[in-house]
Amino acid sequence: MTDYILPLAVCLIWSVVVYKSAKISVLLLSLFFPLYLIRFNIASIPVYLIELLVLISAVPVFYKLFAGHHEILEKGTVSKLLYLAKSPFLVKKKPFREFLGSPFLPITLFIFAALIGSIIVPSDSYKHALGILKSWILIPIIYFFILYRTVKTKEDLQLVIYSYVGSAFVLSLIGMFQAVSGQYITVDSRVSGPFSSANYLAMYIAPALVFVSVRILQTFVHRAFESASFRFGSFERRIFLSGIVSILFVALILSQSYGGVVGVFVTIFAYIIYERFKAKNKDTKGFLTKLIVFITVVVVLGTTLVAILNVEKFQNLIKVNEHTSIATRLEIWQVGASLIKEHPILGIGLGEYEKEYKNRASELLGHEPYEMQRLHSHNLYMETWLNTGITGFVAFLWLLVLTFIHIRKTFALFSAEMRQITVAVSMMLIYILLHGLVDVQFWKNDLAFLFWMIIAVMLVLAGKLKHS
């Protein structure tokens, strides 16, 4: 009974928050993504605290929706700005046609593919697959929907993003305390925050680091009124955000996640190149060119220095014939590719990679693997195909492409400040896609919520935010 006291108390408090302001409760949910770590059972069904908070916040949103308290797209209204302004299910004019051109179609297909993935698993895996369907697919998509329906203004949007950044900041402080005190909770003595793996911490805080870093760079590249936020001037903003960046960056380095560190640097470098080719002012172009050269020189010299010093960690990056991180990943990817080749249409089912790897890795590799147990395939795209088949994989890519297309369609309509926020949020998604080449930046409770938060924010930016 004592195990239920804390979740019950939190849910009661959250219900009061929802009663006082349903809107604020939805906007603040991103602050509590890590609460999935608090888990308990209801009728033998595993339930995570963040799921209950999402469902409580969803009640008034769906009540208003079903009660008819929503805006209807006026007859004859056609503009890029309103392309995604309303849910396609609520549009009076040509709803089916609107649905075909909106991101809600690939989302629907993705849910359908996930349902199939939960059905095709062996009978002894049904409970595990249904748990994945609930916690990594359905409830995060419910969060996506209520967030999409709730965010109306720039202030709403920034509260969502900075609530998430706040949670990443707190987890980074926990990680730094572990490093200072030596009280690690992982077997390899790496900073992991409250998570069981250091990579989990890196994957959670890195998008926040990307967003805040880009926002700082924008204060140098653009005029103050274009990059300002929270009514700070450029100098004050730089000081405030630099403090956040410092904590996030140190925690990321201490996590020793190569994928996270490289992904952040590549994403920020890509942003600088984007601004360099987009800039019209000669002084700005000159500044960005010098910055690109400086970063390139630092990376080259740093890599050379590490190689000369013969650091063991660096050796592990290039050794493929020994039990190193890269060699293990190569085996994992080979097994995953073989499983996709055997099951290209439906995949192997939700959460089945761990079992398939354990039972068939030796057979598929032709030799004993370095590690006999792996939770996932260490590749976002491979994992999506394995879990949901070709339909889910295509729907996932389709959603990503449509999101960027809708952003591009309405980008010219944005105010100068909103363009910068849009670019910073887009860089968060680009980071996830880059890091997804070597890790699974989606198939996990908090990471699923984070992914759908970014998608919702981008679609809101692309269609229904009140632009000026």
Q: Comparing C-alpha atoms, which of 382, 453, 429, 384 is closest to residue 263?
A: 429
Report d(CA 125, CA 416) in Å as an integer.
Answer: 51
What pLDDT does residue 75 have?
Answer: 37
Does the pLDDT at position 137 exceed 90?
Answer: yes
* CA nearest neighbour of 459 among 375, 394, 412, 399: 399
pTM above 0.85, yes or no: yes
Do residues 201 and 193 touch, judged by C-beta distance below 8 A? yes
Please state the domain extents for the chain.
Answer: 1-70
pLDDT tens per residue across span 144-173:
999 998 998 889 999 999 999 999 999 999
- Of 388, 371, 289, 283, nearest to 335 by C-alpha is 371
Please check the confidence at residue 381 and state whether its pLDDT lies above 70.
Answer: yes
pLDDT, mean over the chain? 84
What is the arithmetic mean of pLDDT over 206-217? 94
The model's confidence at residue 96, banded by pLDDT at 50, 70 and 90, is low
Residues comprising the chain, all counted: 468
Quick one: 262 exposed, middle or buried, by C-beta within 10 A (0-12, 13-18, 19+)?
middle
Among candidate residues 251, 258, 135, 164, the one with its CA nearest the CA of residue 201: 251
Maximum mean pLDDT: which of 106-110, 218-222, 303-307, 403-407: 106-110
C-alpha 21/C-alpha 15 separation (Å) is 10
CA 445, CA 185: separation in Å to the nearest integer?
20
Higher pLDDT residue, 36 or 277? 36
How far apart are alpha carbons 115 and 395 in whole angstroms?
14
**Predicted local confidence at residue 315, as pLDDT:** 58
Q: Which two tokens stand for residue 148?
A: 């999409």
